[in-house]
Structure 1
Amino acid sequence: MPRPRGAHASARVYTGSIRPRTAGHAMEPARRSICFTSKTLAKVMAMSSRLPLAGVLRLGRPSDIWFKPALSVVAAVAPPNLALLALGRLDLAMYTMAGSLCALYAHNRPYAARARALAWVILGMLGGLATALLAASLTRSAVVLVAVGAALAAVQKVLCDATRIGPPGNVVLTFISSAALFVPQSPDRIPGHLGLAAAAGAWAWLVGMAPGLLRPHGPERRATAAALNAVAAHAEAHVSGEDTAGTHGTAVIAVRAARQAVSSTTGTPLTVTHRALERLIVRSEVALAAPSDADPAPLRDWARQVRGNRPVPEVPHLTGVDSELAPNPGPLWHRLRPLAPLALRTALGCALAGYASLALGIGRPYWALVTAASLYQADLALTWGRGVQRVVGNLLGVLFFAALVPLAHTGEVALVLCCLALNFGAEALIGRNYWLGSVCVTPMALLITEFAGFRQPGPLITERIVDTLVGALVGLAAAVVVPHRKRVVRAERAGPRTLAATGSSRGRHPDQRTGNTTEGVRP
């Protein structure tokens, strides 16, 4: 690919401050991509009148463990950042943040499964970061870097969906790798930067596993208690004659989550606690299958006893009722094949968003790229909802940044403390609605760019707004161009897997308000 002559021209291409006359033929793919995208924008706008808006911005109930990821990310981020602050090398905080943010993952998994999941997340983060740093050291062409970022975003998206890693999914990994693409880099510094990320990732792993020392079965207990309470609520609604559609869907999802939590301990010795939890889950499945015959009182009493570290209540095994473990998802390759359209959609949307940002002269095209990568959900309606949430949250977050930046610019200590507070706020609020968490995520991302040196807030705010709108519009256009794969749900997967609960149960549509609407596709 032709590159401009001279160091000055190269720097202009790298920073994104380019125009067609300075970028030469390198911008031709961007022009063609933008023209191609413009043909679908009218279709996106026409479809917006038919896509749902009701409930997209409505706040949900906070998670029972909302404070756990919030405190975990603060505990993972604070020590590395404060150490760099003491050493006067806060400019390296971007690399330690990459490892620290891995503490956001796998909070609902039992600790044996969490240990494996966190290890894979850290390795995936390091792989994406290494690829981005290597690309940044080899070329300053913004067009090439956007293409690399789009490819990485597609790989991260399909791997997160295929492995069902859960919130925050691919978005954090894509943010890390995309941001690293546009930081000046040289090959000799890559090992040191990766070492910082790996060290912070190891600390994040320890932070994520630390609660297991006090409550070794905490995630399984919480999931079982939630299932018992949800089924009790459904039984109460059934007896009182209320509409049971909502309670039934909630109960199905809760029971399935409890079954998966206990099943994920496969490969480790089955303890007395796990056997007792298994019997309680069977009781909840039986009550869900026959709510008119269920007594909610013992279900709620068992749920209260399951929480904490008290002994799990022993209930007799039900004769004639068999229980199945959650099905083995099969080899990773089999789970990746159905996600090929999703990979194409993500790569196309991210690339077009990045090129559109470059064409507008925006200096940080990775913001548009990350916005596009964050949109893609299980179907077009959910993708549209996530786009609305992303735009609303980012625009409000930019206003929050404008109000916060005078305080953050008073010194490096204030900058670090503001980032820690925003980390906590993002994780505390995002479970209620994605847009609400984005109000804290946006200023946090902007302040992270300040670690290398304070910048004028005006250009940052303008670029963030433009990139958000460009990324959302172009990302939705790609979702229209590349159709979603039709999802086939087998009857035996629609409800709890026992002989007592048949395939008549069907879970509700994934909630748009949370960050866990795309969990991958099982073959």
Structure 2
Amino acid sequence: MGKHARPTGKQAAALSGSARAVRARPLPLRSTVLLRRPVDIWHKPALSAVVALGVPEFILFALGRLDLVLYTSAGAMCALYAHGLPYAARARTLAWVVLGMVASLGAALTAASLTTSVPLLVLLASLVAAVHKTVCDATRVGPPGNLIFTFISASAFFVPQRIGQVPFHLSLALGAGALAWLVCMAPALFRPRGPERIATARALEAAAALLRTGPEPGDSPAAPDRARHATAAAVNAAWHTLFQVPGRTPAAAADRSGLERLLVRAESALAAREADEEEAERCTAWARDLRRGRALPQVALTGAQAGELAGVAAEHADHERSAGHGRAAGLEPRRPAPGHPHGFRAVLHRLAPGSPLLPIGARVAAGCALAGWGSMAVGVGHPYWAVVTAASIYQANTTLSWQRALQRTIGNLLGLLLFTALLPVIHTGHLAMILLALTFQFCAEASITRNYWLGSVWVTPMALLLTEFGSHLPARTLVTDRWTDTVVGAAVGLGCCVLVTNRRAADRIEAALDRVAAAEAAALRLLDGDDGDPEAERVRPEGARGDDARETGWARDRLAAGLVELREAVEVSAGEWWQRAVPEERVALAERQGHRTLARLVRRLSAPALAA
């Protein structure tokens, strides 16, 4: 096993006792409202959602049927998903998103048509919200995750409905979903390689930052370690993206091969022993060219790296031949280890008994139900907003949920003030309402990646406008009910988050440590031969070099994916306020040794040094 394998004897007993110690962690106040840099592709979901929402709304306006906006919005909101995926994978993922949205809407409308019991509807909406959370986390569908599904379906639970209307309303949602699919796929006509270029550019930019940082992990404080982890994560994500790109034509295969060469060059930064400003500038320039759509540069590779890419090409062929066996949208290693589940099996594995996702689902179900019933107790007749608020605050751990609750409360209050200030404009007519709703949608996507509270400022009035299309409540009642729902939903939801602790988060760290140890042990066995010695590489037969490069690539992929998963598990567990203490020394040792072994693997593939 690796150097960070599970200790034994007295050392194990001491560590075990430390791990069983339970401590309460304080909830942060600072950083909750700080603004970050926006995500580089924020404009893509923003523009897609505006088009997908705007077309049906203007059609319904022309027909005088704006009361149907909720149903078309259900399908149109699917345009917010999958913008980071290559177009082939995006097409599949968006189709599943649309079908999931229509299924959720159908469940809500059917329930609304069969019962008028508000407490029962709250319970059903809460159970559906829990399903949304667990399934979206298991499939790793990405932002905006479960929130849009829950917002639409929770609203639909409280819309007066007759069972005979349900098929027509679902057809509207399905039609708008088809439009959203077309809108999201339309950029493929102009930049068919855009998503994979952006993923590769991110890896190159992370590599440039690492090359400017300098020493290997352990030789200086945390900054190099963070840069090394960020580079490994970006490279791993980019490999996964490229492995979803089909190469059915020679041009497509050539483009993918060119991006893979750049990605191998970015990955070589993990082997750097010292800062290299010249290489960092090259990586930055290549990333800039990729983002601007320029021709792919010619990049020199070593023989080992070329052999590895030949193995990757063979894997692409195997992957495409087995494409009909079903694939999920979740992020997985580029080349899963033998026996590692992927596709639908991976989703089922993440939802199996003992999964750390299940306590989160329990939190959502309990918190949403209690929030909805609490809202009813204080006099709100349609408490769907309390259910949505509670569902929106549940993140991977208590700390993030606390931050989200505070952000949601601040953003909703400011959004209600904005809505109140714009009431004179809203009351001028439906056309003004449509234009304002589309403006709010664009502003929400432009700002939500900077901080959730800032996005909520725009989401709140947009949601109120969508409600207003179907029913007309006095403005004072509408604002008062939403503010009450926000406070009750955030308070009750956060209370359930604190009470329903996720003790399985610490178990996930132990499992991740074991996987890293196993991956490192396999890598060390491979490296024990010649440790990437250039002379040994030179005398190795050509066929053996290709096989060795492929095996080294496998070992590197497994170790990189294990380190990324370990860091994610540690961050999730560290954010639980009542949790077994994180085995910090073991984790630090595992990451330090793991990244050093990863650097040796990359160095083995990169020797001799790359030519400019």
**Which TM-score bucket, shorter chain as reference?**
0.7 to 0.9
CA contact (8 A) 2:151 2:388 kept: yes
Shift of 1:260: 2.0
The aligned residue for residue 233 of structure 2 is 253
Matched residue SS, 1:320: helix
Shift of 1:358: 1.0
CA contact (8 A) 1:77 1:420 kept: yes
Matched, 1:491 2:516: yes
CA contact (8 A) 1:227 1:251 kept: yes
The structure-2 alpha-carbon separation of the partners of 1:317 and 1:71, relative to structure 1 and needing over 3 Å to count, comes to same
Shift of 1:245: 4.6
**Residues 463-496 of structure 1, C-alpha deviations (whole Å, 9 max, x = no match):** 11111111111111222222223133342899x9
Matched, 1:334 2:314: no
Q: Which has the larger radius of gyration?
A: 2
Matched residue SS, 1:354: helix
Matched, 1:404 2:426: no
Matched, 1:313 2:338: no
Shift of 1:266: 6.1
> How far apart are the structure 1 equivalents of 2:30 and 2:245?
39
> How far apart are the structure 1 equivalents of 2:228 and 2:402?
26
**Residues 105-143 of structure 1, C-alpha deviations (whole Å, 9 max, x = no match):** 001000001001100000000000000000000000001
The aligned residue for residue 272 of structure 1 is 254
CA contact (8 A) 1:236 1:296 kept: yes
Matched residue SS, 1:244: helix
Give the gaps of 5 or more residues in structure 2.
1-22, 313-332, 521-551, 572-612
> How far apart are the structure 2 equivalents of 1:362 and 1:375?
20
Aligned residue pairs: how many? Answer: 466
The aligned residue for residue 186 of structure 1 is 162
The aligned residue for residue 408 of structure 2 is 390
TM-score (ref. length: structure 2) = 0.71
> How far apart are the structure 1 equivalents of 2:193 and 2:44?
15
**Residues 167-204 of structure 1, C-alpha deviations (whole Å, 9 max, x = no match):** 00000000111000101000111111111111111000
> How far apart are the structure 2 equivalents of 1:263 and 1:238?
30
Shift of 1:455: 2.7
The aligned residue for residue 202 of structure 2 is 226
Please show how residues 88-237 of structure 1 align to structure 2 within 5 Å: 88-237=64-213
> How far apart are the structure 1 equivalents of 2:302 and 2:500?
49
The aligned residue for residue 267 of structure 2 is 285
The structure-2 alpha-carbon separation of the partners of 1:268 and 1:55, relative to structure 1 and needing over 3 Å to count, comes to farther
Q: Equivalent pairs: percent with the same residue?
A: 49
Shift of 1:396: 1.2
The aligned residue for residue 597 of structure 2 is none
Q: Output the amino acid matched with 1:307.
A: R
Matched residue SS, 1:216: coil
> How far apart are the structure 2 equivalents of 1:382 and 1:250?
20
CA contact (8 A) 1:235 1:291 kept: no
> How far apart are the structure 2 equivalents of 1:60 and 1:256?
24
Matched residue SS, 2:133: helix
CA contact (8 A) 2:236 2:334 kept: no
CA contact (8 A) 1:285 1:498 kept: no
Give the gaps of 5 or more residues in structure 1.
1-45, 513-523
The aligned residue for residue 65 of structure 1 is 41
Shift of 1:248: 3.5
The structure-2 alpha-carbon separation of the partners of 1:177 and 1:303, relative to structure 1 and needing over 3 Å to count, comes to same
Shift of 1:254: 2.2
CA contact (8 A) 2:375 2:488 kept: yes
> How far apart are the structure 2 equivalents of 1:429 and 1:143?
35
The aligned residue for residue 496 of structure 2 is 478
The aligned residue for residue 56 of structure 1 is 32
The structure-2 alpha-carbon separation of the partners of 1:510 and 1:423, relative to structure 1 and needing over 3 Å to count, comes to farther
The aligned residue for residue 85 of structure 1 is 61
Matched, 1:421 2:446: no
CA contact (8 A) 1:367 1:467 kept: yes
The aligned residue for residue 368 of structure 1 is 386
Shift of 1:453: 4.1
The structure-2 alpha-carbon separation of the partners of 1:325 and 1:406, relative to structure 1 and needing over 3 Å to count, comes to same
278-287 vs 292-301, greater mean Cα deviation = 292-301
> How far apart are the structure 2 equivalents of 1:141 and 1:505?
49
**Residues 382-402 of structure 1, C-alpha deviations (whole Å, 9 max, x = no match):** 111111111111111111111
Matched, 1:297 2:281: yes
How big is the alpha-carbon RMSD for the aligned residues of Structure 1 and Structure 2? Answer: 2.7
The structure whose residues are more often helix, as a share, is: 2
Shift of 1:296: 0.9
> How far apart are the structure 2 equivalents of 1:196 and 1:101?
13
> How far apart are the structure 1 equivalents of 2:555 and 2:273?
15
**Residues 31-80 of structure 1, C-alpha deviations (whole Å, 9 max, x = no match):** xxxxxxxxxxxxxxx97x81112212111111221211111101101110
CA contact (8 A) 1:346 1:373 kept: yes
CA contact (8 A) 2:210 2:269 kept: no
The aligned residue for residue 465 of structure 2 is 447
Shift of 1:409: 1.3
> How far apart are the structure 2 equivalents of 1:237 and 1:333?
40
Shift of 1:499: 5.3
The aligned residue for residue 38 of structure 1 is none
> How far apart are the structure 1 equivalents of 2:556 and 2:158?
56
**Residues 4-45 of structure 1, C-alpha deviations (whole Å, 9 max, x = no match):** xxxxxxxxxxxxxxxxxxxxxxxxxxxxxxxxxxxxxxxxxx
Q: Name which of 244, 257, 265 aligns with 2:224.
A: 244
Q: Output the amino acid matched with 2:281.
A: A
The structure-2 alpha-carbon separation of the partners of 1:468 and 1:342, relative to structure 1 and needing over 3 Å to count, comes to same
Q: Output the amino acid matched with 2:175.
A: A
The structure-2 alpha-carbon separation of the partners of 1:249 and 1:408, relative to structure 1 and needing over 3 Å to count, comes to farther
> How far apart are the structure 1 equivalents of 2:133 and 2:303?
44
> How far apart are the structure 1 equivalents of 2:41 and 2:497?
33
Q: Output the amino acid matched with 2:334.
A: L
Q: Output the amino acid matched with 1:319.
A: G
Shift of 1:96: 0.6
306-315 vs 126-135, greater mean Cα deviation = 306-315
